[in-house]
């Protein structure tokens, strides 16, 4: 069955450093992959979408890579700030219905 | 564009009662989704509408759950005979032609069954 793996352990980093979050998947050939941010008690907020034929996408301090051979996406936040502390979810899709991973919590310390 | 709106934001109900949640999607979006999320987990797909047609429903969805989208606008999710295991956040999302594959979530409706 399809499986999406995100590190269940929180990632703790120091302000100003680059945070790198990982999303691995198995038994899946997604046409696209998305990253969302979720704050406690709130709905997920869309950040970036990358398609299977794209290797990398950037938006301001965010960068996403997508390796369909390794079946992995990396999500980078450069010059991280305490305000970046949240849970980050990856979502894979082949059609209109994305499937979500459980998310990884990022904590940026001042 | 006021975003996806969900009501009520919080609901506490006794086991065995019925509850209904409402979702108002972004106005130009024809696709509407319901997901459920429990603590420490990602959103789990429940059901999907395109306009007023319910096109897909999770196999995990109990027959106590029913969703409607009359006239392809707002949607309701009803849970009958609630159980403690139904306690979760119920998320509605919408998407449309311009949005492509991106879905936009509301703030969710928290359900606590006591």
* C-alpha distance from A75 to closest chain B C-alpha (Å): 17
Q: What is the mean pLDDT of residues B65-73?
A: 93
Using CB atoms within 10 A of its CB, is residue B35 exposed (0-12), middle (13-18) or buried (19+)? buried
Task: List the structure tokens of A50.
Answer: 């990358």
Which is it for strands A104-109 and A11-14: parallel, antiparallel or unpaired? parallel
For B89-98, the pLDDT digits (tens) are 999 999 988 7
pLDDT of residue A57: 96
pLDDT of residue B96: 87
Judged against a pLDDT cut of 80, whether residue B99 lies above it is answered with: no
pLDDT of residue B93: 97
Cα–Cα distance for residue pair B114/B108, rounded to 1 Å:
19
pLDDT of residue B41: 95
Judged against a pLDDT cut of 90, whether residue B60 lies above it is answered with: no
Cα–Cα distance for residue pair B86/A15, rounded to 1 Å:
39
| C-alpha distance from residue B102 to each of A69, A89, A105 (Å) | 23, 14, 22
Q: Are B84 and B1 in contact (CB under 8 A)?
A: no
Size of interface A-B (CB pairs under 8 A): 54
The angle formed by the CA atoms of residues A96, A98 and A99, to the nearest 5 degrees, is: 150
B106 vs A31, A43, A99: nearest CB: A43
Cα–Cα distance for residue pair A76/A5, rounded to 1 Å:
17
Percent of chain B with pLDDT over 70: 99
Instruction: Decide if A40 touches B, using CB distance below 8 A.
Output: no
Cα–Cα distance for residue pair A96/B56, rounded to 1 Å:
11
Tell me which of B61 and B48 has the higher pLDDT: B48
Judged against a pLDDT cut of 60, whether residue B33 lies above it is answered with: yes
pLDDT of residue A34: 95
pLDDT of residue B1: 52
Cα–Cα distance for residue pair B59/B52, rounded to 1 Å:
20
Q: Are A102 and B42 in contact (CB under 8 A)?
A: yes
For B3-30, the pLDDT digits (tens) are 999 999 999 999 999 999 999 999 989 9
Q: What is the mean pLDDT of residues B32-36?
A: 97
Cα–Cα distance for residue pair B28/B5, rounded to 1 Å:
14
pLDDT along chain A (110 residues), means of 10: 90 97 93 95 95 94 96 97 98 89 97
Provide the chain B residues 57-76 that lie in CB contact (below 8 A) with chain A.
none
3-state secondary structure of A85: coil
């Amino acid at each position: 069955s399809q499986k999406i793996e995100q590190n269940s352990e929180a990632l703790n980093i120091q302000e100003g450093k680059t945070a790198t979050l990982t999303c691995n998947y198995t038994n899946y050939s997604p046409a696209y992959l998305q990253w969302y941010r979720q704050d406690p008690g709130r709905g997920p907020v869309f950040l970036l979408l990358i398609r299977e034929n794209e290797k990398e996408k950037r938006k301001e301090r965010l960068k996403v890579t997508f390796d369909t051979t390794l079946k992995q996406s990396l999500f980078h936040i450069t010059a991280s700030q305490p305000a970046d502390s949240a849970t980050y979810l990856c979502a894979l899709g082949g059609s209109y219905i994305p499937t979500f991973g459980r998310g990884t919590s990022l904590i940026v310390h001042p | 564009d006021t975003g996806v709106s969900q009501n009520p934001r919080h609901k506490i109900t006794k086991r065995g009662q019925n509850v209904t949640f409402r979702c108002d999607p972004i106005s130009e979006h024809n696709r509407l989704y319901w997901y459920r999320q429990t603590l420490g987990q990602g959103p789990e797909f429940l059901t999907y509408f395109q306009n007023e047609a319910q096109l897909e429903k999770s196999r995990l969805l109990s027959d106590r759950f029913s969703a409607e989208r009359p006239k392809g606008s707002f949607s309701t999710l009803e849970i009958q005979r609630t159980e403690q295991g139904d306690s979760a956040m119920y998320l509605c999302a919408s998407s449309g032609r311009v949005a492509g594959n991106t879905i936009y979530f509301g703030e969710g409706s928290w359900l606590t069954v006591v």
